[in-house]
Structure formats: structure tokens, C-alpha cells
Amino acid sequence: MLKSKTPAHRQLLAAGSTWKYHDGGEDLGTDWRLPEYDDKDWKEGAALLGYGDDYITTTLSFGGDPENTHPCYYFRKTLELESRTGMARLHLEYLVDDGCVVYVSGKEINRHNILEGEVTYGTAAKPGVGAPEKSQWYSGSASAAGLRPGQNTIAVEVHQVEPSSSDVAFDLKIFASGWLSAERTP
């Protein structure tokens, strides 16, 4: 018998998924990223979440003043995993305007269009995303080590580039990949 390795790919989160979200224009600090955070009063809606574009599925509040929009939006989703077998890497695909930071159970795993360093509610994204870039999917990767069997919390904060931003958008897909050993008979 000959052992071989076969790539394994598994979709964990599909585009258009339903997310809990907070669009109230308040700084929630860092506790909102943790699995035990109480988000029962958060709103819920299907992605694409945002405002300012025709293709948005769930409309978020921008705060009422188009010259002083919310700088940050918070999103949470629980993923239930039976096993982590065969999951070495996560592949993330996100549609985001302007930037985001992704956490798994409270730990940052990836960021897009946000400078390195501490991220707070008022952190601005790098210079804005415009058409056609704002409607394209970007990709990133991370270790799958933070995933555990059972419930996993995916938390994402989306940041605007400036207070007068005319739109915001968010959706996320997550795939797990790795190598599974398989036995072959010659």
C-alpha cells in the first residue's frame, strides 16, 4: 500500500450568509470579539450588508449625517464544527468597502486594507475602495489552528476611510483546506 496526500477543501461560510450586526455608531471596545459576548440584542441580516449601493441586501445605518458617517461596523457569526480534521489553513474571500479585520474566537486572523498595529473604533481604512474594486472579492489566508470542534465565533469589524464615506459593504466566505492522508493500493 502506498500513502498519498490529497488536498481537502471545505466551505465553512457561504456568501450571502446571515450575520448579527451592530450599526449604532458606538465604540464597543474589544469584548464584542469574544465568544461569550452577549449579542442577543444585535440586529440580524443577510449579506451583502451595507448602504449606498443598489446591490446591498441588508441596509445598515450610516448615522443620519452623510458628512459624518459611522467609522466602524461590527459583525458576528457562529460556526458549528463537528471536527477540525484535515483543516490546516483558512482561505477567506471578502467583499468589503473600505477595510476589515477578521477574528476567530477573539483572535485576529486576517485584515484587509487596514494598516498594521492596534485597531480601534476610530481607525480609518487605507484610502477608499472605488468602482470597480468595491464590488470585487479579495482574498486572504490564515492558520486554521484557532478553530475548535463545537462553536466558533467569527467576528469582523469593517472600517470606513473617512467620515464622509458614501457607502459601506461587507460579505465573507471562508473555506478550510489541508491535507488528508489516504491509502492507495497499487
In the chain, the N- to C-terminal Cα span, in Å, equals 6
What's the domain count of the chain? 1
Mean pLDDT of the chain: 88
pLDDT value for 185: 33
Closest CA relative to residue 38, chosen from 20, 18, 14 = 20
CATH of residue 49's domain is 2.60.120.260
Listed range (24-28, 55-59, 181-185) with the worst mean pLDDT: 181-185
pLDDT exceeds cutoff 50 at 186: no
What does the pLDDT look like over 123-175, one tens digit per residue?
999 986 655 555 789 899 999 999 999 999 999 999 999 988 889 999 999 99
What does the pLDDT look like over 44-54, one tens digit per residue?
999 999 999 88
pLDDT exceeds cutoff 80 at 179: no
What does the pLDDT look like over 11-40, one tens digit per residue?
999 999 999 999 999 999 999 999 999 999
Tell me the whole-structure pTM to 2 decimals.
0.88
Q: How far apart are CA 16 and CA 77, in angstroms?
A: 12
Owning domain of residue 60: 2-184
